[in-house]
Amino acid sequence: MTTIRGAAAITGAASGIGRALAIELARRGCDLALADRDEAGLKMLAAEIGRDRNISVHRVDVAEAGDIAQFAADAIAAHPALGIVINNAGVALMGSFEEIDQAQMEWLFDINFWGVVHGTRAFLPHLKTLGEAHIVNLSSIFGIIAPPGQSAYAAAKFAVRGFSESVRHELAVAGSPVRLSVVHPGGVATAIARNSRTGVGVTDNARRAQSIERFENAAKTTPKDAALRIIRGIEKNEPRILIGNDARFMDLLQRFRPGTYWAPLQRKLEKMAKGK
């Protein structure tokens, strides 16, 4: 088991799952290194958690490898016992493959995939010096199944899954004290859909509004519940952490029907979006 102690570094900490993780880890006695582009949001979060914890705030754009390297150096200097790293920051992009251009796809990959890779690389040397440490990389249920309209997002999240599983196996073979979990949330009630970018080829604003509404109707898991599930997964050294009944259902369906899961899943998602 991994003991929740010392300090944790969290990217994308100003909102959503990252914010909930910061609050719950602080309640368990962790000091925190919080990173996000939204520095004002980080300061508000630090003030909410209070002065009982040693909290450092870092304005970081995870699309920039240099920002992440500096974040790791500053976070470790501020929290020498830092033993948990959660690569959580992520964005969404609405549109089919033909409706998004290459620059938009690269923008998403820089954050959702390369941000995870650079975060893992920046902190790993320090984590290996500890007797016990844990890396948590956020993928998605769309790192297990790939619906239409999510080509960029699914590709990045599948990449996070493959990268994380390979690194986990490397660490295990080497007898490293560092454990690694990859997280696959289903629908979590965050602002990721509302904050998503729209493909340059998408001209129908009504479709965007409908997509947001469908996501919010289907997203049943709260950020707090997602955070609690991730923390439990860290404590139990779970290699794969599924969040939500929807994620568990989609994971099972993909296992039973790996090449033909979409037709029955589409029917199920339409019912979920209608609140049935």
Active site positions, annotated: 153
Q: What are phi and psi of 147, to 5 degrees?
A: -80, 160
Q: What is the 8-class DSSP label of residue 50?
A: -
- Count the neighbouring beta carbons within 10 Å of the beta carbon of residue 77: 11
Q: Measuring CA to CA, how many Å separate 268 from each of 66, 164, 235, 248, 253?
A: 43, 29, 33, 13, 11
Pairing of strands 31-36, 93-94: unpaired
Query: Can you tell me the distance from the alpha carbon of 206 to that of 230, in angstroms, rounded to the nearest whole number?
Result: 35
Residues ≥6 apart with Cβ < 8 Å to 100: 93, 151, 152, 199, 200, 201
| For the chain, counts of helices (H) and of strands (E) | 10, 9
Cβ burial, residue 259 (10 Å; 0-12/13-18/19+): exposed
